[in-house]
Amino acid sequence: MRILITGFEPFGGEKVNPAWEAVRMLPDTIAGAEIVKLQIPTVFSESVSAVERGIHTYHPDVVISVGQAGGRSCVTVEKVAINLADARIPDNAGEQPVDEPLQPDGPAAYFATIPVKNIVANVRGHGIPCHISYTAGTYVCNCVMYNVLHLAAAKYPGIRAGFIHVPFSAEQAVEKPAGTPFMPLMTIAESLECAVEACAAKDYCL
């Protein structure tokens, strides 16, 4: 099994993105699955094509995308992506869509096709706080999750896909007001390893 795992470049004035920093720490093999890591731009119009190039190049069985969710206190595994782009801040190319559909003819939403509950259980089983989330927001992360699931439904039926949001890393929180939720980068990376392990297992429920 081959798993493509993507992480976003920094955005919104941050120096790092804990998603990519954690992804790049992962080993090249987890539970027998080959891991391919890819950094993708935090740009509405470029992010999905970057993932699709990765799909063309590496022919993965599973695509897991990872993004920063500043303000969340634990790792969250996204259940659903919605057909909406509504950006609070401009992306890294200055694009700021407001109330736009991602796919004018697409369905309102897609559910993740990775084993969301098993991932949550495995991450928690390793002592790391983790929950299901029922909103991936309306920014670039939701755009990638929706469009990768759309691609999988239309063009790559063998691929399973989903999204994981991670909190700020400790080094980011140092610069922020007291009380800002964070997680050490090592712990974030460990949670991703647990997530991949759950995806690599044969018997699982969505």
Active site residues per annotation: 78, 141, 165
37 to 56: interface string for ligand PCA, x by CB under 6 A: -----x--------------
Task: Name the one range near ligand PCA by CB under 6 A: 29-37, 67-75, 105-113, 193-201.
Answer: 67-75
* 5 bridge partner residues: 37, 64
Tokens 């992480």 belong to 7
* Residue from the set 69, 164, 173, 199 that interacts with ligand PCA by CB under 6 A: 69
Q: Nearer Cβ to ligand PCA, position 68 or 169?
A: 68
Distances (CA, A) of 12 to 8, 29, 43, 99, 176: 12, 32, 11, 20, 14
Sort 98 into a burial class: Cβ within 10 Å, 0-12 / 13-18 / 19+: exposed
- Please select the residue that binds ligand PCA; options are 140, 145, 183, 195, rule is CB under 6 A: 140
3-state class of 117 per DSSP?
Answer: helix
* Binding of ligand PCA by 162 (CB under 6 A): no
Using CB under 6 A, pick the residue from 139, 146, 168, 182 that binds ligand PCA: 139
CA distance linking residue 180 with residue 63, whole number of Å: 30
Backbone angles phi, psi at 48, to 5 degrees: -70, -40
CB of 157 to ligand PCA, least distance (A): 26
Q: In the complex, which residues of this chain contact ligand PCA (CB under 6 A)?
A: 8, 11, 17, 19, 42, 67-69, 137, 139-141
